[in-house]
Structure 1
Amino acid sequence: MAEPILHVAIVEDDEEIRQTLALILNGTPGYYCRHTFPEAESAVRDLPELLPRVVLMDIELPGMNGIEAVARLKPLLPATDFLMLTVRQDDEAVFQSICAGASGYLLKDTAPLDLLRSIREVSEGGAPMSAQIARKVIQSFHRSQASPLSERETEILRMLSEGLNHRSVASALFLSPHTVKTHIKNIYEKLHVHSRAEAVKKALKDKLI
């Protein structure tokens, strides 16, 4: 029995990438792409009426980002699977995407054949992820079983262990110095320590970072 033809929509601001993806889909039996969007706002407006089976969603978009777009669209399109296709590999992007309602997460260097397989897989109930992303998810799961720290606190503590001060951490993470200080205070309380050196030592000993 032939596999069902999958209606795929694309949200991608890079015109060359957007057109290439559409060509791959429309040139492969079992897939078609009639609708592409250069930014999230028009996708959020139009996709609920178009009812695609799968949406390939970039994250870094002009205006609204792809994660917010998924969070808005998923309640309106419960039968649609959202597959992130991005250059972002950081933990925060991965887990925010999953929390927003994405069913899979691929990097843009994914080979065309693997991309097609992933689209089919997600439409059949799977959760495809690039190998690097799957490893991050597993590592985070392992950390969460033993670590009292949040993902953000772990990230900040890791940066402190590399010698950055709180202002440098704030700049790197686009946070205010006050917010970083609050996170550091919470880290100290959770680890029952009183200094950065003690926090880093305990985190390394307990394999929290």
Structure 2
Amino acid sequence: MSIRIALVEDDQPFARTLQRYFALTSAVTCDVVFPNAEEALRKIPKLAPELLLVDINLPKMNGIEFVGQIVQRCPGMLCLMLTMYEESPLIFEALKAGACGYLLKRTPPQEIVTAIEEAKAGGSPMTPQIARHVVNFFQKQPVPPPAAPVEAGLAGREVEVLGLLAQGYLYKEIGESLGISTHTVNSHIRRIYEKLHVRSRSQAVAKYRGLIE
């Protein structure tokens, strides 16, 4: 029996190419492509496909938000991300939202079919590069830093960011370790500087070490 799927994808040439390939195999049937999340949310509950291939970069609501909503409306719905983005924060946001796997668009079509079959069988397929990101994330999890005194006025996440700064992590590495964007890391660090009354990373680290000693 073919696995009935639907695409949530605004790149129509890409979607048509995939549909043509799926038509050549008996493993997957894809009759529907939704160009945006809003239309997909309206129609998918009635159509009830077995699995969705979902892009992240959609016109209004993004694919991660869509997955979070569709798995609530349709419990058990399998959502497999198919996107060009391979940043660690997006990977973990998608998985937390309810995605069962994460593929890059450069994945060959035959491997996408294999991934669909794997997901239907209860697996969590990932493009090898994505799986490596996930492994690296857990391997790089730092030893929790000592908590700064309450009087320092730092929030919990700010203490985590500052602790990683003290361990020599770069901003990008801090974001990957905590599952947040580099922009969010920068925002935390600005607030840390303000609360500790410092102007540089070295001053902040010195102040932090003074607080925990």
> Which deviations, in whole Å up to 9, do the C-alpha atoms of 1:132-153 show, x marking residues without a partner?
1101111111233635597x94
> Which deviations, in whole Å up to 9, do the C-alpha atoms of 1:102-129 show, x marking residues without a partner?
0000000001111110010001000000
Matched, 1:181 2:186: no
Match of 1:40 in 2: 37
- Cα 1:178–1:119 shift into 2, 3 Å: closer
Match of 1:130 in 2: 127
CA RMSD of aligned residues (A): 3.3
Identity of aligned residues (%): 34
CA distance in 1, matches of 2:122, 2:44: 20
Contiguous gaps of at least 5 residues in structure 2: 146-155, 174-180, 207-213
The aligned amino acid for 1:159 is Y
Q: Tell me the TM-score normalized by structure 1.
A: 0.74
Match of 1:159 in 2: 171
Higher mean Cα deviation, 16-25 or 98-107?
Answer: 16-25
- Cα 1:199–1:29 shift into 2, 3 Å: farther
Higher mean Cα deviation, 138-147 or 116-125?
Answer: 138-147
CA distance in 1, matches of 2:40, 2:189: 35
Matched, 1:196 2:201: yes
Contiguous gaps of at least 5 residues in structure 1: 162-171, 189-193, 202-209
Shift of 1:10: 0.1
Shift of 1:80: 1.9
- Cα 1:5–1:160 shift into 2, 3 Å: closer
Count of aligned residue pairs for this structure pair? 181
TM alignment of 1:8-87, pairs within 5 A:
8-87=5-84
Q: Which has the larger radius of gyration?
A: 2
- Cα 1:116–1:160 shift into 2, 3 Å: closer
Match of 2:151 in 1: none
- Cα 1:144–1:185 shift into 2, 3 Å: farther
Shift of 1:175: 5.5
Conservation of the 8 A alpha-carbon contact between 2:86 and 2:130: yes
Give 3-state SS (helix, strand or coil) of 2:30's partner: strand
Give 3-state SS (helix, strand or coil) of 2:90's partner: helix
Conservation of the 8 A alpha-carbon contact between 2:81 and 2:102: yes
